[in-house]
Structure 1
Amino acid sequence: MKLDLVDPELRRSVARMPRLPIRGKWGRRVVRALVRRRGLGKPVEGVDVSNLDEGQGIRLYTPAGGGSGAALLWVHGGGYVIGDVVQDDAFCSATAHELGIVVVSTNYRLAPEHPFPAPLDDVLDAWQWLQKAAGTLGVDPERIAVGGSSAGAGLAACLAQRLHDAGGVQPVGQWLFSPMLDDRTAARRELDQLQHRVWSNTANRTGWAAYLGTEPGGPHTPDRAAAARRADLRGLPPAWISVGDIDLFADECRAYADRLRDAGVGCAFDLVPGGPHGFEVWAPETRVARALLERGRAWLGARLTA
């Protein structure tokens, strides 16, 4: 993909990005270790950050004063094969500070060592933990949204579907940044030639194959493994979906947003010109990222106070 399609503020960073060595075991181990060690920014001031030993690992961001009684369950990205809660320290703490809410960020077991349904089970466990701990955290269990980035957003969308089917307390909203929703995209070999910036379709196929334990795009992918595979979207929580127009996931995100609306689910779709995959996470200080985060947090704040 030509660099001049990328927003001018993001071009230099995009041009310097190496291809992630996620196909091999040792490459994944190195990337995982680097993420855990360095993260993608420091927490903002005025927010207490603590780690809770809850199996797979939960990171808690509490604003000064304890918050408004609302909360967000956040799920990190990484194509199902890499990533860690620490990578979103800056993002989660800023969200907690600006909205005055408690943010709970959860780890999950990574593929291919732990394919579907293990990661989704872990995210469900985090939701159930948050429901039980809500009183201790000063959170109203009926004022909790779910959200995530990339693969984490895909897991958040699948979690919303699973919670709908189970009944009980539902999330008040789905806050999805560049969600990884449809394994059938990875099966479209013609997309390989476009070489999308940051996350290409070859990387996408690696991630989905690791998660599913089989080649993506086949007829036997479980509906619960890929949010876009679900036929009936009625009754799901309102959603906010953002994606860059040059992101590999742009088409699948747009299609999912349209299907949500057709099913009577409120959905705000924020398409960012010149936005490559995940730019709001790795370039949060740019004008285009700040504008997106402002719009996204405004939507989330309104859902949590509705």
Structure 2
Amino acid sequence: MSDRRTQSRPGPAPAPGAAPPFDPELAVVLAALDPTAREPVTPANLAARQQRDATSRPRPTAEDLRADGRFEVTELSVPGPPDAPDVTLVHARPAGVDGPLPLLYYLHGGAMIMGNAWSVLPRILREWVLPLELAVLSVEYRLAPQAQYPAPLEDCYAGLVWAAAHAAELGVDPNRIIIGGKSAGGGLAAALALLARDRGGPRALGQLLLCPMLDDRMATLSSHQMSGLGIGDLTSHETVWKAVLGERHGAADLPPYAAPARATDLSELPPAYVEVGSAEMFRDEDVAYANAIWQAGGQAELHVWPGAYHGFDGIAPKASLSQDAREARTRWLRRLLAQSRE
């Protein structure tokens, strides 16, 4: 039987030294950002920040996403966790492509307090769905603090179980499901892989973890070294994790499904793609997670983009480093899908 224990709170973080420099192209874009976008999230302004995000974040309609017929897009309402509301899944695939397609089961970012399933889809459709001929399900999970752990993760799990059971109806291959997400969505994707393993749920072909939010303890060197320099700071980090975990924040026995960096057993997981910037707070927890997968005998491809801050490719999409990152992700997906056909 595998050991599924969790790690308790570590000791104090080492004193940070000089911070690694930002990539020059990325630094220019960062400096030009609206200062309000980098303001710390606090308990006092959390509700206002959520409201601002809900009204300002682009939210394309299904008709917008169909892009003049290039994609088939459907919004689905599927059974949620027990005694919980239904879960909305946005399903998209290339128009006119027959046969069961591989499926990217995608969890959006936004620190589990913001974001939505629709706004992430234009880039996914353009970068992966069309060139790789795969389908995508984007999950509209409940947000904190209105819905605390385990609600967001249980929404994601319920949707995954439904998708695997209704693969024929969706026109997807249940043996070629890739779980993916960015930032908080990357953390949820990692947690979902752990939860599916331990519950005997659908096994993913791979897990795409883009700058994943994994550790609630704020004890890594990078979380202190990079606080307030790029995107994110310790105040926001603490506010978000308290919103997600409530009274369980900081508990020694917090399950790894709440914060995957707590896991001590990363065996028997799907192959992982882990990426992070060298100049962001999540650097050390993400590198440690990839290393723990290797130590458990698993497969992980790790990219640490030099001089990149959190979410760099979305903030500065034209930068050379952003283009390199997108190409690396696509190459990994293409290799994974090719190997699954052999």
Question: Could you tell me the TM-score, scaled by structure 1's length?
Answer: 0.90
Q: In structure 2, how many angstroms separate the alpha carbons of the residues matched to 1:97 and 1:185?
A: 39
In percent, how many aligned pairs have the same letter?
A: 34
Question: Which amino acid in the other structure matches residue 233 of structure 1?
Answer: L
1:8 aligns with 2:24: yes
Per-residue CA deviation, residues 116-139 of structure 1 (Å, 9 max, x unaligned), is 000000100110121122102221
Equivalent residue for 1:220?
253
1:176 aligns with 2:209: yes
Matched length: 304
1:52 to 76, 89, 100: 76
1:160 to 171, 177, 193: 193
Distance 1:137 1:20, change over 3 A: farther
Q: In structure 1, how many angstroms separate the alpha carbons of the residues matched to 2:318 and 2:336?
A: 25
Distance 1:37 1:104, change over 3 A: closer
Equivalent residue for 1:77?
109
Q: In structure 1, how many angstroms separate the alpha carbons of the residues matched to 2:102 and 2:305?
A: 28
Equivalent residue for 2:183?
150
1:201 deviates by 2.2
Contact kept, 8 Å, 1:3 with 1:11, in 2: the verdict is no
Root-mean-square deviation over aligned CA pairs: 2.7
Per-residue CA deviation, residues 86-114 of structure 1 (Å, 9 max, x unaligned), is 22122221211121100111111100110
Distance 1:85 1:282, change over 3 A: farther
Contact kept, 8 Å, 1:61 with 1:92, in 2: the verdict is no
Distance 1:212 1:171, change over 3 A: same
- Unmatched segments (≥5 aa) in structure 2: 1-16, 79-85
In the TM superposition, structure 1's runs of 4+ consecutive aligned residues that sit over 6 Å from their partners are 1-4, 186-190
1:20 deviates by 5.0
Per-residue CA deviation, residues 202-241 of structure 1 (Å, 9 max, x unaligned), is 2111111111113744413222201111111111111000
Q: Structure 1 or 2: larger helix share? A: 1
Secondary structure class of the residue paired with 1:223: coil
Equivalent residue for 1:93?
125
Contact kept, 8 Å, 1:192 with 1:201, in 2: the verdict is no
Contact kept, 8 Å, 1:205 with 1:216, in 2: the verdict is no
Secondary structure class of the residue paired with 1:277: coil
Equivalent residue for 1:31?
53
Contact kept, 8 Å, 1:88 with 1:281, in 2: the verdict is no
Equivalent residue for 2:321?
288
Question: Which amino acid in the other structure matches residue 52 of structure 1?
Answer: L
Question: Which amino acid in the other structure matches residue 13 of structure 1?
Answer: V
Higher alpha-carbon Rg: 2
1:19 aligns with 2:38: yes
Q: Does 18-27 or 75-84 show the bigger shift?
A: 18-27
- Unmatched segments (≥5 aa) in structure 1: none
Equivalent residue for 2:169?
136
Per-residue CA deviation, residues 223-275 of structure 1 (Å, 9 max, x unaligned), is 22011111111111110000000010000000010000000110000010111
Q: In structure 2, how many angstroms separate the alpha carbons of the residues matched to 1:36 and 1:270?
A: 29
Q: Does 192-201 or 96-105 show the bigger shift?
A: 192-201
Q: In structure 2, how many angstroms separate the alpha carbons of the residues matched to 1:221 and 1:187?
A: 18
